[in-house]
Chain A
Amino acid sequence: MAYGLRVWEPNGVDLRLDTGDRQFRYVAFFTGTTAGNSTTTISVAGMATDGTWGLNDEAYGNLTAKTNIGTGSFTHQTTTSSSVAYQIQVFRI
């Protein structure tokens, strides 16, 4: 093995982690509310549109809001005059 890490299960046969695995890593969890027809910008150190960062909004009723990944930050934008709560998970994969 030229790189990476393998971790075996106690049986010594099955792998818990292999060199080719991509791991889901949790960066942060943000909660708050965005006013109607507005945008909230949230800073996240190192965030980039490089295909390794992900967002998921858990808030109930998020059908009138959307998220977008940027550089060093992401946005939560409401699309109607109603305010919308957000519960946003940020990951790296």
Chain B
Amino acid sequence: MSYGILVNSSGGFTQIDATYDNLAVYASGTVNSSYVNAAGTGGATNKVAFPANTPADWCIFAKPTTESGDHLLTLAHYSDGTGFAFFNTWQNSTVISVSWVIAVRSRDMPTNNNPDFGLEVNKSNGEQAFSSNNLNFRCEQVSFDTIVNTQTSLSSFSVSDMAGVYSLMNGKTILGAAPSGNQFYSILYSFFSRFEYTPKTIRGFAAPVALASYGATGQFGGGTKTNLIGRFK
């Protein structure tokens, strides 16, 4: 390395370098969860509009606002780019409050020079890679799932302290469609993050999210899903 900085963690993983961008909080808030009813024709949709100038390469993290119980949430973002929502499993009408974070690359964060001390790292092209003035994502656990079908065993994180722990929600969301018994509709399966506060686990879970007009034939994409949990500090 001929310039910049390289910081490795005690586990030997690179934390900061002058090559890649670290991730920071661009916006955050709370929203009620959404659901689709049995007929697939209604339910509740509670959508968050993307803030102005949100970069296209966002990451969305979430957790239940009230940190208790057992909750499954999946992310839906709208193809017109106007916003996103968090859905319960199909037909689950128990709406909960969800805390969300939009995280973006450090280079896309608004200029923040307060306080005027700490650490700022720039890449060789002058873009910011890390700033301690941002609320950065401190990753606590990571796993990678290769999803083949709805029976694939998905990652499970045991968490010693669940307080303030978010899960990365985007990536592989809709997994596939299964026959519903109706020739015009399929049951849409999605990747859920399951927050279980009593056994203190956060894990992936494949479950139905909606009834959709994909026809009666099952189809499945699968592929790689990156799972991250951690806090923003």
Contacts and interface: CB of A to CB of B under 8 A. Distances in A.
A36 B222 CA distance: 16
Main secondary structure of the interface of B (DSSP, over half): strand
Contacts of A24: 22-23, 59, 137, 139, 228, 230
B221 A79 contact: yes
**Interface hub of A29, A65, A93 (most chain B Cβ within 10 A):** A93
A16 B9 CA distance: 14
A16 B20 contact: no
A55 B170 CA distance: 10
A65 B137 CA distance: 29
A84 B102 CA distance: 25
A26 B23 contact: yes
Contacts of B9: 4, 19-23
B27 interface: no
B219 A29 contact: no
B215 to A, nearest CB: 11
Interface string A1-25: 0011101011000111111111111
Interface string B77-99: 11100000000000000000000
Q: How large is the interface on B (under 10, 10 to 19, 20 to 34, 35 or more residues)?
A: 35 or more
Given A22-B15, A56-B226, A79 B57 contact: no
B10 A20 contact: yes
B138 A23 contact: yes
Nearest to B23: A24
Interface in B134-162: 136-140, 142, 144, 146-147
Given A87-B56, A93-B13, A25 B20 contact: yes
Interface of B: 7-11, 13-17, 20-23, 56-57, 59, 77-79, 105, 115, 118-119, 132, 136-140, 142, 144, 146-147, 168, 170-177, 188, 219-226, 228, 230, 233
Given A56-B224, A80-B219, A89-B57, 4 more contacts: A26-B23, A60-B79, A74-B224, A92-B14
Which 5 residue pairs of A and B lie closest in terms of their CB atoms, listed nearest first? A66-B223, A56-B171, A54-B226, A25-B20, A29-B57
